[in-house]
Amino acid sequence: MPSAADETKEYRYFAGGEWRTAESGELFEVYRPFDRSVFARVAAGGREEAKIAVAAAAKAFPAWSATTPGERARLFFKAVEIVKRRREEIAKVLATETGSTLSFATFQQDLVAATIEQAAGWMYLPKGEVLETNTPGLHSIGVRRPLGVVACFTPWNGANILSWRALISPVAAGNTVVVKPSEFAPISAGLMLAEICEEAGFPKGVVNVVTHAPGAAGEIADVFFESDEVRVINLIGGVKTAKLLAKRAGETLKRTTMELGGFNPLIILDDVDMDYAVRTATFGSFFHQGQICLNTRRIIVQRKIADEFLTKFVARTKTLPSGDPQNPKTIIGPLITPAAVKMVDDRVKEAVAKGAKLLTGGTYEGQVYQPTILTEVPLDVSLAREETFGPAVIVEVVDTDEQAIASANRTLYGLTSSILAGDTYRAFEMAPKILAGIVNVNSPTVNDEIHAPMGGVRDSGWGRTGPQSLHEFQDLIWINAHSGKRQYPF
């Protein structure tokens, strides 16, 4: 287990059921986003640590894949108990390590507990099907079989829930995992999961976590791709990283499942309930200070109501409290790193320099960037083309439903989207025309259900969450048996 040193904890990595120091003995520092003070020191893993973790996972796989569904479910339920017991503690770590507000941090813990609890029931889903056959006397079935070791790349944003989501499906499907958490949230996105799985009694080697210093992720990825035991690369991350991993996966014939970012549109039709539209837009745009892949990035509003919407949207945005994420009243906390602040600010300034109108925001103090709304943003600037992880949203005015759809489909991203309308049927008719993995009618872009097949299309990745995701981590094997003797042509 991790050991405390004064106010700053030191954490080892976890492999084969043991907490280990890095071979080099080196630690790297994790900083609090709000004040840039050192929060923790964590084992700086690399190639050797990744090899140890992969070997442990491979060793544990045969026994785990043969474990009964009842035993797997028991361990999942035990993990739920621990998550609930440690709810406040984990939420505080999340707020400290990632800058998540306390409300979002506690929300994550409740969602984690509900997700693990529901996943316990996935153990009893059918593992195959009876197949039709044209051959008399032949009995034919398709059986799903776990693959082996799954390498999970977990993110710093929504660190706890997204990391559990990356781990749960492959483990429930009978695989073992090596988790490589983001260097910006190694505790929330990895080591806390290992603590809980260890206490719950998961067999040694089923869950392993390798941490690394900034800039050292490549060494660990190299081991994953070089290892024959690693069969799946499971990424929750950005498009740039995904392209690098997908290329290497193709060269080594490893499967990939990728939940990537989004440039998510919120369409507001002219018959909408205005107050509801403003509340929905505010939540979707600025929840977790815009650092969720599901956040609203573009608001497409019809001209008839545009002026009223903008007036009320700007007014409401200006009331959002910002500052220390440990303060229960805070809505806008800090961005994850100084580099993240610079990226958002550079893109906002570029847009304004090229003619965009800044309606509110565009300033920051420390790493807290004020919620920002822009209109008339040129299509050739970064803010209009690329996912920007921060509290900056574009508002675009259109005339018709057709123009709204065309605008929503302008980018190659396709994660989530929303349509707000008084006439639900009108919105529902538009929904299939939106090129996104998720279309919400009269709900925000930030919307998820544990059992639903959440995931993106096009540059927002492939693969789905929920019970449907089990198939991403299993082979379908055809087994047939003849009850008599086959006749052959020679």
Task: Report angle CA 257, 262, 263 to the nearest 5 degrees.
Answer: 160
Q: Are strands 357-360 and 372-375 parallel, antiparallel or unpaired?
A: antiparallel
**Per-position b or e across 177-205, b if 16+ CB within 10 A of its CB:** bbbbbbbbbbbbbbbbbbbbbbebebeeb
450: left (phi over 0), alpha (psi -120 to 50) or beta: alpha
Which runs of E-coded beta strand occur in 210-294?
230-236, 255-259, 264-268
> Out of 293, 387, 396, 472, which one is annotated catalytic?
293
Helices (H), strands (E): how many in the chain? 14, 24
Is the Cβ–Cβ distance between 314 and 359 less than 8 Å? yes
Verify whether residue 259 is a known catalytic residue. yes
Q: How far apart are CA 429 and CA 292, in angstroms?
A: 28
Verify whether residue 293 is a known catalytic residue. yes
Residue bearing tokens 């040129």:
378
Distant-in-sequence, close-in-space partners of 181: CB < 8 Å, separation ≥ 6: 154, 156, 159, 163, 188, 189, 190, 191, 209, 211
Distant-in-sequence, close-in-space partners of 205: CB < 8 Å, separation ≥ 6: 15, 16, 17, 56, 57, 59, 60, 61, 64, 176
- Residues pairing with 258 in the sheet: 235, 462
Please report how many Cα atoms fall inside a 13 Å half-sphere around the Cα of residue 166, on the Cβ side: 36
Token digits of residue 48: 């050797």
323: left (phi over 0), alpha (psi -120 to 50) or beta: left
For residue 98, the SS3 value is helix
Longest pairwise C-alpha distance within the chain: 84
Distant-in-sequence, close-in-space partners of 296: CB < 8 Å, separation ≥ 6: 264, 265, 266, 281, 284, 285, 393, 418, 444, 445, 446
> Out of 97, 183, 195, 259, which one is annotated catalytic?
259
> Is the Cα dihedral 214, 216, 221, 227 positive or negative?
negative
Q: 46 vs 177, 333, 371, 486, CA distance in Å? A: 17, 32, 38, 55
Active-site residue list:
259, 293
